[in-house]
Amino acid sequence: MYIYSMGHYFPENILDNDFFDKLDIGSAADWIKDRVGIESRRSVLTQDQVMDLRHGRTNRQTLKEAGAIESIAQMGEKAWKVATSRAHIVVEDIDTVIGGTSVPDDDIPASSCVIASHLGMERVRGFDVNSACSTFVVQCHVMRGLMMSGLTKEGAIFGAERYTTRVDYSDRRNSILFGDSAITAAVSCTNRPGSLKVIDSLVESAPSGWEHIHLPDGKFFQQNGAAVQKFAVTKTIAAAQDILARNSLSTKDAHWFIGHQANYRMLTSAIEKMGVNPDHHLYNVVDRGNQGATGAPSVLSQNWDRYKSGDYIVIAVVGAGLTWGSLLLQKQ
């Protein structure tokens, strides 16, 4: 499978650390910068809306019914526009669309069908894949399998996350972590100029850990941060090293490393342990926050013009489930 174009989208509303000081929840900008390394995030919500949520003057349902929350399809369309500006994409040729989000507009239908309809992709099989923050890697894993078996020739992958609408703004521990974004990838079994070849994909999980990260229906995001932190660093390293080793490569061969954008301190700890040159570490968590499943692929898309022919790119992600996975890509 080849990724021949990508697109990303970030909402315009900025929530910086000073704004969280103003929420009066005991949040300290220095604590966030030191412990999480996040300075700013983008949100589908304005600062006024977040302030109203914090003080109980509104709630998510009210904002949603008033049309104040950008939909998954609207976000996906904006990411798609970037992808179409980077490559010639023949929409009529696309036969499979895989969507994915942890925070859907509605329980049904699958977001892929809504986005496909918005974009005029009428003759496709559309379905969603949800593996929380690992979703993009799993989407690529599934699409790659379909292409290897000959069931799919041309595809599109979409992801959109809006965790800023699913946190408790009186909770300083979790509300400061997240940002929103959307991504798309145009994929093919044909090697087009400038493509990233998906050489390998790895997907793993430890289901007994499912309670550590949870977004219960109608409630707010919660996690056992300390337990997850250890898991996240260990599995980021394992996912990256395993996929390199089984392709007879080592960390030194990887020109670019992209991890799950949960915590900049955790990412730097992981790359130091792996011996990755910091100049080859790509990230956006510092000014985009933890965007769930769209963090790592949005970094991949933002840096689209930097990859040179022959470059290996390793993406390693971790998420609720618990799940982890990786992709080994090579620029053609």
Ligand X SMILES: CC(C)(COP(=O)(O)OP(=O)(O)OC[C@H]1O[C@@H](n2cnc3c(N)ncnc32)[C@H](O)[C@@H]1OP(=O)(O)O)[C@@H](O)C(=O)NCCC(=O)NCCS
Using CB under 6 A as the binding rule, whether residue 239 contacts ligand X is answered as no
Using CB under 6 A as the binding rule, whether residue 263 contacts ligand X is answered as yes
Among positions 37, 109, 209, 225, the unique one binding ligand X when judged by CB under 6 A: 225
Q: What are the φ and ψ backbone dihedral angles of 208, each rounded to 5 degrees?
A: -65, -15
Tell me the C-alpha to C-alpha distance, in Å, between residue 171 and each of 24, 26, 175, 191, 219.
Answer: 10, 9, 6, 48, 13
Among positions 115, 137, 228, 316, the unique one binding ligand X when judged by CB under 6 A: 228
Interhelix angle 225-245/264-274, rounded to 10 degrees, is: 40
Provide CB contacts within 8 A for 96, sequence distance 6+: 124, 125, 126, 143, 146, 152, 154, 155, 156
Tell me the C-alpha to C-alpha distance, in Å, between residue 12 and each of 42, 43, 45, 50.
Answer: 6, 7, 9, 14
Q: What are the φ and ψ backbone dihedral angles of 38, each rounded to 5 degrees?
A: -95, 135
Which of 186/213 has CB closer to ligand X?
213
CB 41 within 8 A of CB 288: yes
- Segment near ligand X (CB under 6 A), from 84-92, 115-123, 220-228, 277-285? 220-228
Which of 72/232 has CB closer to ligand X?
232
- Segment near ligand X (CB under 6 A), from 115-123, 194-202, 222-230, 251-259? 222-230
Please tell me the distance from the alpha carbon of residue 329 to that of residue 37, in angstroms, as a whole number: 27
Which of 221/256 has CB closer to ligand X?
221
Using CB under 6 A as the binding rule, whether residue 32 contacts ligand X is answered as yes
Using CB under 6 A as the binding rule, whether residue 31 contacts ligand X is answered as yes
Q: CB of 82: closest distance to ligand X in angstroms?
A: 25
Q: CB of 302: closest distance to ligand X in angstroms?
A: 20
Binding string to ligand X for residues 141 to 180, with x set by CB under 6 A, is what?
A: -------------------------------xx--x----
- Segment near ligand X (CB under 6 A), from 25-33, 72-80, 179-187, 279-287? 25-33
Q: CB of 172: closest distance to ligand X in angstroms?
A: 4
Please tell me the distance from the alpha carbon of residue 112 to that of residue 129, in angstroms, as a whole number: 9
Beta strand segments in 104-174, E: 125-128, 154-161
- Please report the DSSP string for 271-291 in residue order: HHHHT--GGGEE--HHHH-B-
Using CB under 6 A as the binding rule, whether residue 213 contacts ligand X is answered as yes
Among positions 6, 147, 232, 314, the unique one binding ligand X when judged by CB under 6 A: 232
The residue ranges that bind ligand X (CB under 6 A) are: 27-28, 31-32, 35-36, 133, 172-173, 176, 213, 223, 225-226, 228-229, 232, 262-263, 266, 290, 318-320
